[in-house]
Structure 1
């Protein structure tokens, strides 16, 4: 089993981010969705985010405009854009043309009660201009619920790109990853590694890192 990388999402605290950088966490996730309890701009400025010395800063957006995403991406010096809303092929095409070539795009597919056929169709409709898929549990809150979808559905479909796995990943269910045939490239962790929204449990993250060694 290839060891997946780790993305810690929903970061809000300056000192914790510095600590995670020292721990060599692979991806840092910043949520730019105002309705999220982890909306980063309530805590940090774009300039502060730009100054973090890390090569994989991910900005999470939900149904935002192309112009706003590009502006934030440039000012915060983001390396990845994660689209967590209902962005269609035309939107992603316009975004790709507007973003710096170096910035990669992650498109989220929210998994709820859809059947295998529906999920296949959704995956096949994703534009080739995206770099990664991300599978998360469907919710009205667009993620961060701590709920897990049935990972077995991933064994019933062909996943054409490397993918992030999100939705309720915890120390308690991490060993169940071995049941997935096509392993995730990245584990996207959030609420199960928190003390409260936006405040991470660094010790739990350290434990996860040691378990994945």
Structure 2
């Protein structure tokens, strides 16, 4: 299982995570987020980060803006966390560089009734996160057993309240996630990561 650390804002922590061989680095380009990366780093600084797993997180942003940020920041993945439909994704993929991959987020509540098969051929990964009125991290988990009730046709990221305390429960998921996406449970404050906790978590994944 690979690991994504999301909500990064500090260059020294990013470099340390790279040295820890973290697979995906998540940068949030949503102004309402307390981890909005452009309050801390410029697009040029992000573009200079030497890593093949740079993920830009967007919420209901325009296609043009996503494509522009993707190019300027040299992103490798676009994570769509809003209400983007298949038409939006099709248009976006035509504007992105061919090697940029797309992750489509689904917010899971008490049930899961999305018709997500329409996205199978349009995106590279799904991401399942806990539903909330606001977009972005809640620090809460959803009932992972819901994933055992659905057919997931492509690799997926699992997000939402993953922590050292519940890592053992991942074994109950039949189709295991390709990537675990961690954020708020591994922070000192929004955007400032607890690197020791991340090291411990990574060691438990092996």
TM range (shorter): over 0.9
> Stretches of 4+ moved more than 3 A in 1?
none
Match of 1:154 in 2: 147
TM-score using structure 2 length: 0.98
90, 99, 111: which is aligned to 2:108? 111
SS in 2 for 1:94: helix
- Residues 177/127 of structure 1: CA separation in 2 closer, same or farther (3 Å cut): closer
Counterpart contact for 1:89–1:127, Cα < 8 Å = no
CA distance in structure 2 between the aligned counterparts of 1:140 and 1:62, rounded to whole angstroms = 13
| Matched ranges for 1:76-87 at <5 A | 76-87=73-84
Deviations 1:70-104 (A, max 9, x none): 00000000000000000011100000111011000
**In the alignment, what sits opposite 1:207?**
200
| Equivalent residue for 1:43, pick from 35, 40, 52 | 40
Q: Give deviations 1:135-178, integer Å, cap 9, x for gaps.
A: 00011221211000000000000001000000000000001000
Superposition map of 1:1-213 within 5 A = 4-114=1-111, 116=112, 118-119=113-114, 121=115, 123-213=116-206
Partner SS state of residue 96, structure 1: helix
- SS state at 2:119 partner: coil
For 1:34 and 1:128, the matched residues in 2 are separated by: 30
